[in-house]
Structure 1
Amino acid sequence: MKNVNLATENFSSGKRNYFLDFKRAVNDNRYLCITRSDEQHDGSYKRSTVVVFEQDFHFLIAAMSSLFHSAVYLSQDNLPVADVIRLKGLRVKKGIKSWDPGLRPREKFIAVGSSHMTDAELIAMLIGSGRKDMSAVDLAENILRAVGGRLDVLATQSHRSLSSFSGVGLAKSSAILAALELGRRMCAV
């Protein structure tokens, strides 16, 4: 028995063709098959395919949502840098609660799990809130940038060094250091 097409969509852009097929496998699992077909100089076609099974659709949707959210700011080619920064600033001033639910750290953690989150998003969950002009995620990114993105270096920081970041006090630095200590203890077992 052959895999059955349940629904299909396609579109083209120049010499590229895209096919999106929702299929049912012989074992009755359903999946999305995304194929890109590029016409070569000799008239032949080169195909690339990605398959995503139905149980992983929520990962794909969360990843696409996050990608598109980020792309809004990165693809502002025709805007001066100051305007892009201003647009991003508007998002920050509204806070994480104004973000699409799939992008909020806590909701993302529940929906897709910790393995699909950045270190900054996980640290943002520990610190809880940012500042008026900076989200908890942006604050966590600043902290990580200061330690070269290395969690082992972050774990060696003192309350004083973490509290040097505006928006981080003893409570937030304690939460970060406590979580890193638990991770260290778990690895030591």
Structure 2
Amino acid sequence: MKISKILASESFLSRGKHYFLDFKIAENNSNYINIVRSDSQPDGSYTRQCVTVFEEDFDLLIGCLSSLFSSAAYPDDREISVQDLRRMNADKGGIKSWEPELRPREKMLQLGREAMENAELLAMLIGSGSPNESALVLAARILDSVGGDLRKLSGVGLEEFCGFAGMGLAKSSAIMAAMELGRRMDALGIYP
């Protein structure tokens, strides 16, 4: 490996130690990661330590880092694996894991829109939650922010909606569009 090209690089400094993480491509077109630690010495010089991981070992490096981070995240349970974490998160499930009669969409089909809670209707507009929170919990958080007042909710702007974790431009715009339709129907005196 005579000539290496850096494809991506990150670095940081902590207590006189410089860390460099470089993703490189070698002259033979193989990829590798170079991790360097450079320590500042009292005489102004530096000592340098380097670890190189080649692309055929990336999966092992990622597996080791995943194991390390899961052990750090769950210090009381040293036996937990990445597969265990996936299973634990899958067991939490989202709305799809609920009994069908409890899911907002199915509830509306069975009982009609009048039987729906405001949070359930809002969750249907949101569509999907995140791995940490269902659309229904997110909808309840949004409603709580306006004290459950739909008139206040209709005045919430794009920036405010996007300020909620799990809300992006598409979900926020869908809610704003629905609220605007409701406002126009109210102005015309149209009640279903």
Q: Give the TM-score taking structure 1 as reference length.
A: 0.51
Instruction: Note the aligned Cα RMSD (angstroms).
Output: 1.7
Give, in whole Å, the separation in 2 of the partners of 1:172 and 1:123: 10
Cα gap change, 1:102/1:117 in structure 2, threshold over 3 Å: closer, same or farther? Answer: same
Q: What letter matches 1:124 in structure 2? A: A
Alpha-carbon shift at residue 140 of structure 1 (Å): 0.1
SS in 2 for 1:179: helix
Q: Which has the larger radius of gyration?
A: 2
Match of 1:130 in 2: 129
Give, in whole Å, the separation in 2 of the partners of 1:92 and 1:134: 13
Give, in whole Å, the separation in 1 of the partners of 2:132 and 2:182: 31
1:2-23 deviation per Cα after TM superposition (whole angstroms, max 9, x unaligned): xxxxxxxxxxxxxxxxxxxxxx
Moved over 6 A (4+): 89-92
Percent identical pairs in the alignment equals: 54
Query: Are the aligned partners of 1:106 and 1:125 in contact in 2 as well (CA < 8 Å)?
Result: yes
Give, in whole Å, the separation in 2 of the partners of 1:93 and 1:173: 25
Cα gap change, 1:167/1:188 in structure 2, threshold over 3 Å: closer, same or farther? Answer: same
Alpha-carbon shift at residue 99 of structure 1 (Å): 0.4
Cα gap change, 1:162/1:108 in structure 2, threshold over 3 Å: closer, same or farther? Answer: same
1:137-177 deviation per Cα after TM superposition (whole angstroms, max 9, x unaligned): 00000000001001100110110001000000110011111
Give, in whole Å, the separation in 2 of the partners of 1:93 and 1:185: 39
Q: How many residues align?
A: 101
Q: For structure 1, which runs of at least 5 residues remain unmatched after alignment?
A: 1-88
Alpha-carbon shift at residue 91 of structure 1 (Å): 9.0
Query: Are the aligned partners of 2:143 and 2:153 in contact in 1 as well (CA < 8 Å)?
Result: yes
Alpha-carbon shift at residue 90 of structure 1 (Å): 7.1
SS in 1 for 2:165: coil
SS in 2 for 1:172: helix
Match of 1:155 in 2: 154
Q: Give the TM-score taking structure 2 as reference length.
A: 0.50
Alpha-carbon shift at residue 187 of structure 1 (Å): 1.1
